[in-house]
Each structure stands twice: as C-alpha cells, then as structure tokens.
Structure 1
C-alpha cells in the first residue's frame, strides 16, 4: 500500500536492505527506522530477526501505510508519527536505519514533494539525522543511512565523525534517474551537479558505529 505522497520503495530501499543484511546487525536487535515511508525497511528488519522494530514518519499517510502493510504481512512492529526522533526521545537502539528525503530541490518543500525534496543541497533532513542519531544509539550500535552522492557523502561522513562515530561508505550503486530526478535534470545541469545528458546517480549507504569503551563512554 502506497498512498499519494508516500515514497515508493526503489533502488535506494533495496540497497539499504542489502547493506543491513550484509552487516549482520539485525538479529536480536532493537531497530529504529526513521522516515519509514511504506515501512519496507522496517518490515525487512523484522523479518530478518530484529527483536523489536520501531518505524517513524512525520507523514500521517506514511504511518497509515506502514501500519497496514505490516498488518497485511503479519509483521509485528511499532509505527509512530512524529518528527524524526521526537517520538522515541528517551530510548536507545542497536540499529538505526534511514532512507530520508535527499533530492536536491527548492528551499521549502511542500505537499507530496516532502517525501523526497530536501532543500537546495539535498541535506535538509540528512544534516539533522547526522547530528541527532548518535544520542539514540546504544553502545556498539550502528547507523545506516542511504542517500544520493549528489547530497554529499563526504558531508555525512564528516558530520558523523564529528559526533564521535566511526563512519565509512558501506555500499555504492549507480542508479538510473527515476521520474523525480529526470524532472530535475535541467536544474542539476545548470548548477553543474551533473554533466550534460547525465541521467544516473550514485547511491551510497553510510555506516556509522558507536564504539564504547569499557566504562560505556563513546569512543570516536
């Protein structure tokens, strides 16, 4: 189920799910999926052996879709509505996954475009996740974020390392432009983000780990 205005699972969703599976970080874990959309990543984590799965989205349509999709598939997970981490302010998780809006667009995304638009640099939500996620990771926890390389893999790595996490690019994949990116191609060419005629992007999954010392303190 995907109501209008809820992001359709695409190549970035599958790349994130594959990376979670290869990382072997789900079995028995407390998992949080922010910007869950249809709930596809959260459901994959639950089927992969996570002990407790929480999915969050700011969109009421996305929350409804995730709840219905989980019920239809017999997947047990908690689905909450709210702005990023606000609904779980006093909790920590072993794994946090995110496929946030990251498409380069205007300064004030509205309507259905909020499901993918993320400001002039594509980092309106990414910067917030990089800054806020570390405090919700349990010692030894892992954060996995997928986004376009156009939105700045280096910026994500720098922000997460500055927050005390060990961050690397865990996966990359070239992906043809979908309808939204094709509609932005002229703008991206004008801003010299893509070459003339380029109609593909590189998706990246950033992995950031919270490494704890013996006394539980965060080690960078």
Structure 2
C-alpha cells in the first residue's frame, strides 16, 4: 500500500516515522521546497510542487498511490485545495491531518482577525513595537507600516518588501517559555502577531504574552476544503491508514 504524505510539519515527520516501520506500507513524503535545509522525514522523499491539481492527480496515478494524507501547515490553503481537487479526480482516499487550533485562556488579550491584511490594519491601535511571527512570506503584508518597529522571526530570510524599521531573527522552533519571556522583555515588545498554527513548538510565546499582559493579534485559519475527512493527531492518521490497509 503506497501512502503519500504532503508534509513539511512536525506531525508529518512523526507520521512518516510510524508508517515507515510497517513493512506492508510504502511511504513517500512530499515537501514544497520552500526551506533550503528542511528536516527530512523517514522513507522516500520528493521535493517540489506538482503543478496544481492536475499535476498531483497525474502523480497519484503514475505512482499508484493508495492513500493521500494532507499533513501540510494549517495555512497551506492552496495545497489543501489542490489535494481535494486531485482526489475528486482520481478517487484516492484523502485524510487531512490538522492539529487543533489554539484556544484563549484567562488573561489573554487576543484580537482575532481573518487575514494578514486585517492584522496590519489592527496594529497601530495596539502597540508600536511588534513581534511578528507570521513566517517570512507574511512580512510583506506589514511593509507599509512605517510608524512601527518590528522584530520578525522566521526560519528563512524574508524577501522584500519589508517594513522600514525591522530586525529579522532567524530561528527555528521549538521555543522555550523562558526564552520567549526574555525575548519580549529585551526588545520591549508591545504587541504580538501570530497565525493560529496550533503548534505546541511555538505556543510558549502566547504564555509569555499573557504573563506580560500584551495584546496578541491572531490570524485565523482558512476554512478547510468541504467534505475532507480530518484527524487531529498522528494517532488518528495512523488508525485511518491501518483501517484502509485492512
């Protein structure tokens, strides 16, 4: 049984580790190729795009894929749509592995917004020194805010346009609570901007912001494609694969 994992997340790597150990399965992980030195999962790996839904459908047929798991980032909206369209064409079973969203706790000062553009609109009223954790591709949405200072953290260097006053911090999670506390204090951060990734590896910044009473602009996730079955964790995805295999 050939399983294709659309990966790039920690859950995708853990899932590949589990499935590769099953001799009845052939596991291929596909990475988008946007990170220069990605953490490679176990099993076969392909890097690069498919060429849209038609290209993915052709790959599923050519490589005789029996099950497709979309374990991409919750904000990889285009890839998730392409996966849903491809399986509608091929009939390949599809599961979306989606970690749960973050939930606000007592003391949080969250400001949910539907997009990066809305996050940029909200910032001037919330603070002047901004900790931006939306990834390198999201920084451009804030380039026009000349009156604010940004600390922008990403795995890879961002590309222009960027805000005129920005310090780029190249780091990869997981991050510690003590480290996030010190970062916010040292840079005198007044407001945090984040996407609702739901990742435990990056959640400590939310706790640190709560402790300091900082407002947090939270970009909400795009809606998942309709009709796609989901699992909240690796265990659920493994059970799905084993059910298909049986």
- Bucket of the pairwise TM-score, normalised by the shorter protein: 0.3 to 0.5
* Greater RCO structure (CA 8 Å; 6+ sep): 2
Compare CA radii of gyration and give the structure with the larger one: 2
